[in-house]
Structures are given as C-alpha cells and as structure tokens.
Amino acid sequence: MKCPYCNEEMEQGYLQAMRRVAWVKQIHKVSLLPKQGEVLLENNTFGDAVFSAHICKKCKRVLLDYSDKDIEEG
C-alpha cells in the first residue's frame, strides 16, 4: 500500500495497545520496550486492543483499519 501523504510503500502490521501503543509486524505479548523494527507510539494507560494498520516510517503516519471491529459510534 502506498502512503497517501508521501507515496512511499507502507508496511503492513498491527497497532497493539495496553499500557503503551505500538505498531508491530506480528502480534505478541506487549512489553515495556519495543522490539527491533517496532515503533512505540504512546506510553499511556489503555485497554487491551489490536488493530490492523499500515505504517509509513518516512513521514511517521499510521493508517488504522477498524472495519473488522464491532464498534458503536456515538
């Protein structure tokens, strides 16, 4: 997938959250330190969540896909 901002190729992965939010290539137990190739996006208290996402490391943007989630909109 091409980044809509800079047209570079984006990497497929997941946005994973618990007490931190990280983009990861493979879903795994969340730890305090990011593994090689992962991007630590936030370090706050969040509930456990995993979303399919693409990342552009050039312009530092993440496209999140929640189309497979049953989320009620307010």
Is the pLDDT higher at 27 or at 70? 27
Give the pLDDT score at 68.
78
Categorize the per-residue pLDDT at 15 as very low, low, confident or very high, splitting at 50, 70 and 90.
confident
In 3-state terms, what secondary structure has residue 50? strand
pLDDT digit string (tens) for 17-62? 776 777 888 887 766 677 787 776 655 555 677 788 999 999 999 9
| 15 exposure class (CB count in 10 Å sphere: 0-12, 13-18, 19+) | buried
Is 74's pLDDT higher than 50? no
pTM, full prediction: 0.66
